Amino acid sequence: MTPPAIDYRDLQGVVRFGYKHLHAARYVLARVREREAARAWLREAPVTAAEYSLPPPDDALQVALTAPGLDALGVAAAVRDAFSPEFLSGMTDANRSRRLGDVGANDPASWQWGGASRAPHVLLMVFAHRGALDAVAARHTGSAFSQAFTITHTLETSDLDGVEPFGFADGISQPWIDWAQGTAPASRALDYSNLSALGEYVLGYPNEYAKCTDRPLVPADAASALLPDALDAPGQKDVGRNGSYLVFRQLGQDVRRFWQFVHGAAGGDLAAAERLAAVFVGRTRAGDPLVPLSARPVPGTPDEQAAQNHFTFDGDPRGVACPFGSHIRRSNPRNTDYPERPAGLTKLLAAFGASSKGFRDDLISAVRFHRILRRGREYGPPLDPADALAPASATEPERGLHFIALNANIGRQFEFLQNAWLANTTFADLRGETDPLIGTREPTPGCPASGAFTRPRHGAPADRVNGLPQFVTVKGGEYFFLPGLRALRYLAGGTS
């Protein structure tokens, strides 16, 4: 199948840009109040597309829908039921919660929003220049909107200038989407690459397996005439094409607890605390990785990120420089399909495990199938690590991250990352520990507490920091479908 060229006019802009030049953003969660009005509003919504423009747009509106939202809009069951199972069942299914670590303090029962009975129907993402957000938001959520929808939550964001609330530079490593679909995924099997197939993020295009993921296809008829043709099913129209699955999680960050714990564990010295925190993260606060840059460049890394992103963990197989448990190593192990670039006969033997003899060999799945595009924004005021050592005030504001990830297969991408890598108490060869930043510390079988952090050392028993409390608490979340512009009109009953 020859993949079609991407049509940026049909793609919501946030997939391509992230709109970093628009420093103000607000997320509006709403439920359908009056179906016909809601459909009419969505058909006419001035959603910003991903076409390149100079100057870039002064504001942007993006729209995403939940599965209950599709029902509320009256989308036909046959269309709805063909979306991916994860999207349909939602984030808060009990069996899913167990896998995602949404237990204990993260239990959806205590979330501020999201969850079966309280799921939002629609998410508006409004982006604007500083000072202009209220006006832009008012333009979109005026009387036509409020006739159609009831706003349940308005989530504000803050611009911390590329730093997340704990004080670390964030968003440095992102997959580089192969928009031109110019390189075969197999070329990424042997060398770690930042380049990633379009179909990993945008539905209706080939992914790293050269296949399309789950999305509804409908017969070609008058109603579906506006939709693009399906790539992998002749004669069918593609409701998913140019859409993406959007994972939204509101992650509350206890910045004081984080720095107070690290400060104590580092012996009460702020500089040592910053060094220990950097080991938890895998980067310094400025974003520099703890392992040296590699000689071989990492394909798909833009030049301006080269200084902080041209690295793999190949030179640190035991995790001495950057522990396996560090946040960036858990969330992107930067490995390949085969551990040691085998070729020819060696590759054949490697496929049968002949090269895997060492204790830590080959424990982590190949990263190219488990990547996400992060588009989240922080909320709450900044708090300097030194100030964070003081006790919380009576009116302590909430801080955290509105985590937003785009992917084409929620199960294999976001959920795999969250379950098999971040929340997993037995990631790599570790035991009794979860991600030091975002993990829960709930007990697991055979392991009464999961608050350890292991720092391997050369020729010595590993160092362990024990008793990590939970620093991040999930406050809300839901799975959304971020449709292509034509698909949005189609789902809202439009025919053109």
Partner 1 sequence: MTPQAQFFVTAPVAAGREGELRRLLDGMNAAPGHARTDNPLVPFFAFDTIHFARFVIVDDQTLDDTTAYGGPRVSHPPALAFAGEVDGDLDTFFAQAAAHAAPGLRALFGCCQDGPGGGDLAAWLRAHHVPAAASYVNWVGRTVRRVREDAALFEAVQGHLARDRASFEGQPAPAVHLRLRQRVWEDVAAGRLVLTPDAPTPLDWRLRRLAHAVGVPLLLLLASPLLLPLAVAGALQLRRAEQTDPEICPRTPPEHVARLAAVEDFDVTNSFTAMGSLKPGLTRRWATVALLGAIDFAARHVFTTGRLARVRSIHFARWVFLDDRTRVIFLSNYDGSLESYMDDFINKVGFGLNLSFCHGIGYPRTTWLIGGGSSDERKFKEYLRRHQIPTQVWYRAYPGLTAVDLERHARVRRGLEAAQLGGDEARAWVELL
Q: Does 351 bind partner 1 (CB under 8 A)?
A: yes
Q: Does 424 bind partner 1 (CB under 8 A)?
A: yes
Q: Which residues of 142-165 are buried (b: 16+ CB within 10 A; e: fewer)?
A: eeebeebbebebebebbebeebbb
- The interface region with partner 1, picked from 173-181, 211-219, 239-247, 302-310 by CB under 8 A, is 211-219
Nearer to partner 1, 324 or 471 (CB): 324
Q: Does 112 bind partner 1 (CB under 8 A)?
A: no
Contacts of 278 (CB under 8 A, 6+ apart): 284, 285, 290
Identify the residue among 425, 434, 440, 470 touching partner 1 (CB under 8 A).
425
- The interface region with partner 1, picked from 15-23, 31-39, 221-229, 418-426 by CB under 8 A, is 418-426
Q: Do residues 168 and 283 make contact, with C-beta atoms less than 8 angstroms apart?
A: yes
Shortest distance, CB of residue 416 to partner 1, whole angstroms?
Answer: 6
Shortest distance, CB of residue 92 to partner 1, whole angstroms?
Answer: 13
Q: Do residues 472 and 2 make contact, with C-beta atoms less than 8 angstroms apart?
A: no
Q: Does 346 bind partner 1 (CB under 8 A)?
A: no
CB-count burial class (<10 Å; 0-12, 13-18, 19+) for 1: exposed
What distance in Å separates the CA atoms of residue 214 and residue 244, rounded to the nearest whole number? 11
Q: Does 211 bind partner 1 (CB under 8 A)?
A: yes
What distance in Å separates the CA atoms of residue 426 and residue 436, rounded to the nearest whole number? 13
Nearer to partner 1, 234 or 445 (CB): 445
Q: Does 205 bind partner 1 (CB under 8 A)?
A: no
Identify the residue among 151, 366, 389, 392 touching partner 1 (CB under 8 A).
366
Shortest distance, CB of residue 457 to partner 1, whole angstroms?
Answer: 7
Parallel/antiparallel/unpaired status of strands 244-253 and 195-197: unpaired
Please work out, in degrees rounded to the nearest 5, the angle formed at the alpha carbon of residue 127 by the alpha carbons of 254 and 133.
Answer: 90
Q: Does 478 bind partner 1 (CB under 8 A)?
A: no
What distance in Å separates the CA atoms of residue 418 and residue 456, rounded to the nearest whole number? 23
One symbol per residue from 431 to 470: x for binding partner 1 (CB under 8 A), - otherwise; what is it?
Answer: x------------xxxx--------xxxxxxx--------
What distance in Å separates the CA atoms of residue 258 and residue 30, rounded to the nearest whole number? 33
Q: Does 344 bind partner 1 (CB under 8 A)?
A: no
Helix axes 255-265, 270-281, angle to 10 degrees: 110
The DSSP element (H or E) to which 61 belongs, if any, is strand 59-65
Residues 65 to 84 in contact with partner 1, rule: CB under 8 A: 81-82
- The interface region with partner 1, picked from 122-130, 137-145, 208-216, 218-226 by CB under 8 A, is 208-216
Q: Does 415 bind partner 1 (CB under 8 A)?
A: yes
Candidates 483, 496, 94, 473; CA nearest to 249 is: 473
Applying CB under 8 A, the residues found at the interface with partner 1 are: 81-82, 85, 88-89, 93-96, 98-99, 209, 211, 213-214, 318, 337, 350-353, 356, 359, 362-363, 365-366, 369-370, 409, 411-412, 415-416, 419-420, 424-426, 429, 431, 444-447, 456-462
